[in-house]
Structure 1
Amino acid sequence: MPEDPLMIRARELWENLASVPVSFASDGGVRVVVSPESRLCPAGWVGVVALGESALATAPDADTAAVVRDALTGLPVTAVTDVAAVGAVLPLAGVLGPAALAYVSVGGFRPVGRGAPVVQQLPGTHPDVRRLEETAGETDAGEAGLFENTSPAFVVRTAGQVVAAAGYRLWPGRTAHIGVLTAPAQRGRGLARAVGSAATAHALTAGLLPQWRARIPASRRVADALGFRELGAQLSIDLA
């Protein structure tokens, strides 16, 4: 069976972010490597990314890598990004995630149709986008990461105010890491899907690989509606 082009590109991305020579095992399982400069996780943490039947884990030093290797190799790949399963075999001081990793191709993309909210394009640093971040609050704004975007901002306005915005940050491997933010009082109206569709279309037109990383079910549903396929998950671990 031919390899999935989306899976190939997604794995190449995360192999690059590991910051050391490593690849996902073709026969499945978990590979653990030492990488103090890993971009899979915050500095000093352990980063785990599972895609399909294989996973990569990076550790900041050899001793930590040995502990993680012993613990994770006893788990199925489907469990290495599950907090409960990992917490049963490793002492956790903190975690980030897990976050689902989803990707879409030109052929699989399902843009919004007629009747969707009107989307406008603004510079990514436009003051109205910053005001939306203030309205949404630090936690949601940080999750969306619009302030880090390298693309234009795709927005919906209500009564002149930007109430939803999306854009993307250019990652290695010509990947477009998409972020979406909706004002709390405006959620449930399809706005995230509208602006997310515009950002995805812009990325695909530029020949980029759109990536949708999400932790909350609502965001994952938006990605699914647009044709994104969940290929795996990411988890960052701070060991006690």
Structure 2
Amino acid sequence: MLDDLLLQRARRLWAGLAGTPVVFRDAAVEVVVSPQSSLCPPGWVGIVALGGAVIVTAPDGDTAETVRRAFADLPTMAELQGTLPIDETLGPATLAYCDAAGFRPAGAAALEKIPADHADLKTLIARVPADDADESGLAEVTSPVFVVRTATEVVAAAGYRAWPGDTAHLSVLTAPAQRGRGLARAVATAAVADALRSDLLPQWRARPEASRRVARALGFRELGSQLSIHLRSV
């Protein structure tokens, strides 16, 4: 029942982000034309799979038909890259969710709550590799941010960005030298708890396995994935 409820909420969220009416149908792939889709960057194809159902948005009718034919011949989303004329991809990223019943708080570090525009948070983001900062999405959070400090600086932080559908999109970042100490679990615990108190659906979108391990440790269930692809002109 837990997975069923989470899956329903996650599907409603992503169907709403498609920018045009579309429905997740079990064991099926629904391809629609949506130039305004929020599943992917403008001009790209956005693919979201949740619980064995897939929705796809394409920027125009020709692209939609190309993708529709590709899916008709393929059993899995992973095989698309060998069939379509893809010149760039974003993802795939795993989509994971939890609610109060499945949440497993972790970590015992001393935490502080600061605003999202705090200078110390900006310093942390500037100090880590750019790819790590981009992956975390911490610069885009709209919630308060929960942090762990050393004597002089913030070394781990977590918050969330308010998404449609009463969703809290989690962002977590730890300074490279401080990883492996459970700090990500500690700050993420505080951020997830804050989201649940506001009756939001916590969403954890991640590509690195280390990030996925943190989510699983906190009780998140991996229900699907998101992939964006850009096709070459043919």
Within 2, Cα distance between the matches of 1:75 and 1:180?
35
Which residue is equivalent to 1:50? Answer: 49
Distance 1:3 1:215 in 2: 21
Runs of 4 or more consecutive aligned structure 1 residues displaced over 6 Å after TM superposition: none
Matches within 5 A, 1:39-78: 39-76=38-75
- Secondary structure of the residue aligned to 1:4 is helix
Aligned residue in 2 for 1:109: 103
Question: Is residue 19 from structure 1 mapped to residue 9 from structure 2 by the alignment?
Answer: no
RMSD of equivalent CA atoms: 1.3
- Pick from 133, 142, 155: which aligns with 1:150? 142
2:92 aligned to 89, 92, 98, which one? 98
Confirm or deny that 1:200 pairs with 2:200.
no
Distance 1:209 1:215 in 2: 20
Paired residue type of 2:86:
L
Is the aligned partner of 1:231 residue 2:206? no
Q: Deviations over 1:59-95 (max 9, x none)?
A: 000000000000012223xx21x2xx11111111000
Whether contact under 8 Å (1:50, 1:233) holds in the other structure is yes
The verdict on how the C-alpha distance between 1:17 and 1:186 changes in structure 2, with shifts beyond 3 A counting, is same
C-alpha separation in 1, matches of 2:6 and 2:33: 27
Structure 1 alignment gaps of length 5 or more: none
* Secondary structure at the counterpart of residue 8 of structure 2: helix
Identity %: 60
Which ranges of structure 2 fall in alignment gaps of 5 or more residues? none
Counterpart of 1:87 (choices 69, 74, 81) is 81
Amino acid at match of 1:129: L
* Separation in structure 2 between the aligned mates of residue 157 and residue 110 of structure 1, nearest angstrom: 23
1:102-181 paired onto structure 2 within 5 Å: 102-112=96-106, 116-181=108-173
* TM-score, scaled relative to structure 1: 0.94
